[in-house]
Amino acid sequence: MEAPTPGMQNPLRQARLYGYLIEREGALFHPGGSHPLCSAGMTRRMIEAGWLMKADDRYELTPQAQERIAPGAMSSG
């Protein structure tokens, strides 16, 4: 699994915090969020890199990502 790019860090943090992300209007949002976290293209990159998986209508961290993304494990950015 490659290291997350700077553009992946915030969506991955939000996925850890909320437990999942949702897709609306071609972008990912945290539950109840009104500002997009990333585009559909970045979502595809995170899935291909093994950070996210689609589960029904949600996007969740993979088990490997959950192990690597612990509180304080990613730089703030």
Residue numbers of the domain that contains 52? 6-60
- Please classify residue 22 by burial: count the beta carbons closer than 10 Å to its beta carbon, then call 0-12 exposed, 13-18 middle and 19+ buried: middle
Within-domain flag for 13: yes
21 φψ region: left (φ > 0), alpha (ψ -120 to 50), beta (else): beta
Within-domain flag for 67: no
Within-domain flag for 22: yes
Within-domain flag for 48: yes
At residue 73, the pLDDT reads 58
When divided into structural domains, the chain yields a total of 1
Within-domain flag for 45: yes
Q: What is the dihedral of CA 57, 7, 31, 74, to 10 degrees?
A: 110
Q: What is the pLDDT of residues 6-63, one digit of tens each?
A: 999 999 999 999 999 999 989 999 999 999 999 999 999 999 999 999 998 899 999 9
Within-domain flag for 66: no
Beta strands in 16-64 (DSSP E): 21-24, 27-29, 38-39, 52-55, 58-61
Within-domain flag for 68: no
Q: Could you tell me the two tokens for 68?
A: 């690597």
Within-domain flag for 65: no
